[in-house]
Chain A
Amino acid sequence: MVIKFQKNDKPVIITGAKDMPPMGAALGSMLQNKTGSWRNVRPIIDYDKCIKCFICWKVCPEPAIKIVDELPVIDYDYCKGCLMCAEECPKDAIDFEKEGK
């Protein structure tokens, strides 16, 4: 079996034990695992309600929320739609909609 990983834009090809680290370490970075494809609901931040407490940033398990220009911004390449952010937002500033299809 051949498993391919991207590292620094260079493909890493793993064919067996000789290519692997000695411990159960990630054979590449989780950045390559675009968990956004798992999502069936899409959280949306309403910046009018947001008070910039960054609780969502803290609780997002991926983490798919970044702080950009002092605002929480969801990276939909990685957001898996778990809605922990919406659940924990003290201002109910995060709503969600069903993904298309």
Chain B
Amino acid sequence: MKKTMMGNYAASWGAQLARVQVIAAYPITPQTLIVEKLSDIVADGDLDAKFIKVESEHSAMAACIGASATGARAYTATSAQGLALMHEMLHWAGLARLPIVMTNVNRAMAPGWSIWADQNDSLSQRDTGWMQIYASSAQEILDSTLIAYKVSEKVLLPTLISFDAFFLSHTMEVVDMPDIELVDKYLPPYKPDYKMDVNDPRSFGALTDEQYYYEFRYKMQEAMDEAVDIIKEAGKEYEKITGRLYDLIHPYRCEDADMILVTSGTIADTTNVAVDELRAEGKKVGNLRIRVIRPYPKKEILEVVKGVKKLAVIDRNISPGYSGIFSQELKSALYNEVDIPVRSYIAGLGGRDVKIEDIKDMANDALKNDAPNDLIWKGVKL
């Protein structure tokens, strides 16, 4: 059924439809509405879940880890400083191979104190062993939550779903809620092979010497590799029940493009509109939205970009001392495979609006200049 809702509520309803069993969360702007709505949903009896109030984000993730280890479907949501506070527990959830799903509202790290969109919070958690999705619409937030549990529970890796503060979290739009019967068929209850069970005791997280730790890392990598195809399959299966297809990457008008813009998050949606305008001006430009950054869809990206003359990446994040993170990832994927110049732009940090004109400026700059460039500050006030 179609309804209007804010992006944050799409996350709450996604968790409700996934029939999560344990929710442990701590409020933080701009995530607060997600958890508020979920506590309403639980209190109203629309979801049979245990809602655990905790004293910090670190505890929220710890509670999710405990719940997931016993075989419960666990959910939490956070943002920025809250996600950073979880950092230790994120590694734990990853290495314990627990299929927790978490929503993160992308918000700039402080100081200067900011509550606005910026991807540095989640990208700082890139190496914790979580799969990472960047959503670009409220619909996708809801859908991704369901697909994420399906994938996570299959490959036994947690998933982080991130989306831009305010541009999605507080923006109301039309969302098609799938029927719960269809979702139940798509996402049956979680039945893990290994779980904490008093009737079948095992020890978890015990001392692991150098003879074995290495192999756990190897198995984690195997699971990530496997996840690429499983994400595709889970996406196709979801399409069968809803008509909406999600993949690791979403190319738009890339087939015959001379130059492709590489984007993520809400900037990607606006870029589609900019591409239409550029096309109308006779410029053969495409947009490649990276939806999943872990596992990194290297093969899929190369497939799309291989014939192209130039690439331009727009990053709403920065790894200080080097460059934008999506840009680094892209360049490492190209290396040894194809020789395409990449121009890398930083835009929209701390929630600065990235307008259609801004995207067209960057595209035109990239069309004009053939030399690769690792770091171009779009619109910095000097």
Could you tell me which A residues sit within 8 Å of B by CB distance?
1, 15-18, 23-24
Contact = CB atoms under 8 A, between A and B. Distances in A.
B54 to A, nearest CB: 26
A17 B113 contact: no
Interface of B: 110-113, 380-382
A18 B382 contact: yes
Contact of A16 (B110, B112, B113, B382): B382
Nearest to B382: A16
B111 A16 contact: no
Nearest to A27: B112
Nearest to A14: B381
Provide the main secondary structure of the chain B interface. loop
B29 to A, nearest CB: 17
A18 B382 CA distance: 6
Nearest to A26: B112
B286 to A, nearest CB: 33
A17 B382 contact: yes
A24 B382 CA distance: 16
A1 B380 CA distance: 11
B220 to A, nearest CB: 36
B123 to A, nearest CB: 20
A23 B380 contact: no
B381 A24 contact: no
B112 A24 contact: yes
Contacts of B380: 16-17
13 contacts: A1-B381, A15-B381, A16-B380, A16-B382, A17-B380, A17-B381, A17-B382, A18-B382, A23-B111, A24-B110, A24-B111, A24-B112, A24-B113
B376 to A, nearest CB: 15
A16 to B, nearest CB: 3
A18 B111 CA distance: 18
Nearest to B350: A24
B253 to A, nearest CB: 34
A24 B111 CA distance: 5
Contacts of A15: 381
Nearest to A23: B111
Contacts of A23: 111-112
B358 to A, nearest CB: 15
A17 B349 CA distance: 14
Contacts of A24: 110-113
Nearest to B113: A24
Nearest to B112: A24
A99 to B, nearest CB: 27
Contacts of B111: 23-24
A17 B232 CA distance: 44
Nearest to B377: A17
Nearest to A20: B381
Which 10 A-B pairs have CB atoms at the shortest separation, nearest pair first? Answer: A24-B112, A16-B381, A24-B111, A16-B382, A17-B382, A18-B382, A17-B381, A15-B381, A23-B111, A1-B381
Nearest to A21: B112
B349 to A, nearest CB: 12
A32 B382 CA distance: 24
A24 B112 CA distance: 4
B81 to A, nearest CB: 13
A15 B381 CA distance: 7
Contacts of B113: 24
B363 to A, nearest CB: 24
B176 to A, nearest CB: 40
Contacts of B381: 1, 15-17
Contacts of B110: 24
B110 to A, nearest CB: 7
Contacts of B382: 16-18
A24 B109 CA distance: 11
A79 B35 CA distance: 32
Nearest to B381: A16
Contacts of A1: 381
A23 B381 CA distance: 16
Nearest to A1: B381
Contacts of A18: 382
A1 B379 CA distance: 11
Q: Which of B110, B113, B380, B381 has the most CB of A within 10 A?
A: B381
B130 to A, nearest CB: 28
A42 to B, nearest CB: 28
A18 B381 CA distance: 8
B265 to A, nearest CB: 23
